[in-house]
């Protein structure tokens, strides 16, 4: 089977990159060069997604390899829904692989419940901080807090969805989010990331 560069030359589009749809089609035909291009196109973003959950760079690389293995295995099930849908589909696989990795190593139910009447810390004063600065502090949170925080705040999942993904109760999800926000605010404030002073 001809490689992607050969296909470029055939179509006289040597400088035009393949669209996601074209790339998927070539990958589905078993084109190794297309698979390499797909991996290169999304690997960096997916690595950062996995690293938010797994934390260790070595383990993150393992998660990424397992996730992309599944991407190529199940690519025939991918349904193109327009711009960004391929990245979203791959991201979901990477996130699920990272969560499976965490569930095998951590019992998310080993978190005591907190009084849900406690005020949830307001982190809005830190909203202007660069994402990289905040991410460094999120990475320091305990596994359960970090995972729930990422799923709720970054990914936008509801507590019911988080509970289902992690095999915990909604109450445990809420507790871990509360504790994550409390600890995150304390760390940011101690480091001098606050305003109005």
Write the CATH number for 138: 1.10.10.10
Q: How many CB atoms lie within 10 A of CB 182?
A: 17
6 band by pLDDT with thresholds 50, 70 and 90? very low
- DSSP-assigned states of every residue in 36-53: HHHHHHHHHHHHHHHHHH
Question: 25 and 56: one domain?
Answer: yes
Is residue 113 included in any domain, yes or no? no
The answer as to whether 186 is a domain residue is yes
CA distance 37 to 10: 18
Among 82, 78, 83, 87, smallest CA distance to 49 is for 87
Lowest-pLDDT range, 3-17, 75-89, 126-140, 169-183?
3-17
> What is 49-117 written as a DSSP string?
HHHHHH--HHHHHHHHHHHHHHHHHSGGG----STTHHHHHHHHHHHHHHHHHHHHH--TT-S----TT
User: Based on the domain organization, do 73 and 166 belong to the same domain?
Assistant: no
Asked if residue 195 is part of any domain, the answer here is no
In a domain, 183, yes or no: yes
Q: How far apart are the first and last CA of the chain?
A: 65
pLDDT digits (tens, 9 = 90+) for 17-71: 889 999 999 999 999 999 999 999 999 999 999 999 998 899 999 999 999 999 9
Which residue would you say has higher pLDDT here, 146 or 196?
146
Domain of 8, in residue numbers: 4-105
Answer yes or no: do 89 and 152 share one domain: no
pLDDT, greater one: 159 or 115: 159
| 151 within domain boundaries | yes
In a domain, 115, yes or no: no
Residues 142 and 52 in one domain: no
Can you tell me the mean pLDDT for 180-184?
89
Instruction: Count CA within 13 A, CB hemisphere, residue 6.
Output: 8
In angstroms, the CA 182 to CA 85 distance is 35
117 lies in a domain?
no
Structural domains counted in the chain: 2
According to the model, what pLDDT value does residue 40 have? Answer: 95
- The answer to the question of residue 114 being in a domain is no
pLDDT (tens digit, 9 = 90+) per residue, 118-143? Answer: 556 666 666 666 677 778 888 899 99
């Amino acid at each position: 089977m001809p490689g992607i560069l050969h296909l470029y030359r055939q179509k006289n589009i040597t400088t035009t990159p393949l669209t996601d749809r074209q790339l998927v089609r070539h990958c589905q035909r078993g084109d190794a060069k297309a698979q390499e291009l797909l991996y290169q196109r999304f690997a960096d973003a997916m690595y950062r997604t996995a690293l938010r959950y797994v934390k260790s760079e070595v383990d993150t690389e393992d998660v990424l390899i397992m996730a992309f293995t599944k991407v190529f295995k199940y690519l025939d099930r991918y349904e193109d829904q327009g711009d960004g849908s391929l990245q979203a589909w791959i991201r979901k696989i990477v996130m699920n692989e990272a969560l499976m990795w965490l569930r095998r190593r951590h019992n998310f139910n080993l978190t005591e419940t907190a009084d849900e009447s406690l005020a949830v810390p307001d982190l809005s004063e830190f909203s202007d901080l660069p994402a990289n600065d905040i991410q460094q502090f999120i990475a320091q949170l305990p596994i359960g807090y970090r995972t729930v925080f990422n799923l709720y705040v970054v990914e936008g999942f509801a507590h019911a969805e988080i509970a289902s993904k992690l095999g915990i109760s909604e109450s445990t999800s809420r507790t871990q989010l509360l504790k994550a926000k409390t600890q995150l605010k304390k760390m940011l404030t101690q480091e001098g990331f606050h305003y109005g002073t």
